[in-house]
Chains A and B, each alone.
Chain A
Amino acid sequence: MSTTVATINDKTNLGFWVYLMTDCILFGSLFATYIVLHKNTFGGPAGGELFDMPAILVETLILLTSSFTCGLGMLAIRRQKRSQALFWFGFTFALGVAFLVMELSEFNALIAEGNSWQRSGFLSAFYTLVGTHGLHITIGLLWMLVMGWQLLRKGFKDSVIRRFSLLSMFWHFLDIIWIFIFTFVYLMGDLQL
């Protein structure tokens, strides 16, 4: 790899990292909003009464596994093995879709019971925080599709490899955000704190 490519990679990588840090601030504000509002149930249900904890654990493990398979996909990219890379990123994609489907069906069940974001301040903050994460996941999935297509069309070009490394950073980042949603929204909600 020539020096210029390495320099471009480093700079792009750092720039993307700085974007992730600003995204962190966005999620931090939403977490603060959620914690401030989580007692304001307006006579409606609190978190502990709503959450289906085994399903949440399954969601968490699915996302964690997808973060791992994304890492394996990245190793295949570094080894320049196309079919392996497609397999692992395809696996990651499938797990991401499974996660999103579970989250949306959770939302759907809550709304069907009359607990939509209009019910209380707590639920507004809940849907905003968890929904923003879900939106990030959706965008990550679209990105994965685009990268799969680029890998098939362009092969292992420097720019393609670089974009894959940014994608995997994004995906690991979303898993880290989910740890905190799992802990502060779901587990602490179940403790009725």
Chain B
Amino acid sequence: MRRLSAIDKRLVSYAVGFISSVILTVIAYALVTHDDIVRTLTAPGIALIIAALASLQLIVQLLFFMHISEEQRPRWKLLTFIFCFIILGVIVFGSLWIMFDLNDRMMMSPDEMIKYMNKQTGI
């Protein structure tokens, strides 16, 4: 068999990336829009699955569209990506943690709030 040239390899990688991305997208869409599946797996269960499918598609596109694995050492792109990922985690999970915690504490009815404050101050 003839060895594939660098450009042919790229073509194969784009095709693989495209087909697997389409499959992942359609699976996620089907899971959400079919009522029977939603009833059996429940909404939070499906949310977890589609979040996992999105992450998988992120990895697929980084590998097959952006060719991040072909980078030569030192791998600055990969390093900056990981650094960015950590910062993103701090921003997104930090914001959600703080804001949902505030919602729990502050968005109660006036009666509940009085009870809560009395409990906190020990009255």
**Chain A interface residues toward B at CB < 8 A:** 14, 17-18, 21-22, 24-25, 28-29, 31-33, 35-36, 53, 57, 60-61, 64-65, 67-68, 71-72, 75, 78-79, 169, 172-173, 175-176, 179-180, 182-184, 187-188, 190-193
Distance (whole angstroms) from the CB of B113 to the closest CB of chain A: 19
B65 touches A17 (CB 8 A): no
Instruction: Give the one of A31, A60, A182, A187 with max B CB within 10 A.
Output: A187
The contact sample of 11 A-B pairs, CB cut-off 8 A, is A21-B81, A29-B91, A33-B95, A36-B95, A64-B22, A72-B11, A173-B66, A176-B62, A179-B25, A179-B57, A183-B54
Chain B contact residues, majority secondary structure: helix
Closest to A23 in B: B84
Distance (whole angstroms) from the CB of B71 to the closest CB of chain A: 9
A175 touches B92 (CB 8 A): no
Closest to A24 in B: B84
A191 touches B92 (CB 8 A): no
Chain A contact residues, majority secondary structure: helix
Closest to B8 in A: A75
B87 touches A188 (CB 8 A): no
A79 to B11, CA, bound (A): 12
A60 to B28, CA, bound (A): 12
A89 to B84, CA, bound (A): 30
On chain B, the number of residues with a Cβ less than 8 Å from chain A's Cβ atoms is 44
User: Within 8 Å CB of A169, what residues of B?
Assistant: 66
User: Within 8 Å CB of B65, what residues of A?
Assistant: 67, 71, 172, 175
User: Within 8 Å CB of B92, what residues of A?
Assistant: 28, 31-32, 35
B96 touches A36 (CB 8 A): yes
B99 at the interface (CB under 8 A from A): yes
A188 touches B81 (CB 8 A): no
User: Within 8 Å CB of A29, what residues of B?
Assistant: 91, 95
B25 touches A188 (CB 8 A): no
Instruction: Give the one of A21, A79, A182, A192 with max B CB within 10 A.
Output: A21
Closest to B77 in A: A17
User: Within 8 Å CB of A173, what residues of B?
Assistant: 66
B43 at the interface (CB under 8 A from A): yes
Q: Which of B33, B50, B76 interacts with A188 by CB under 8 Å?
A: B50
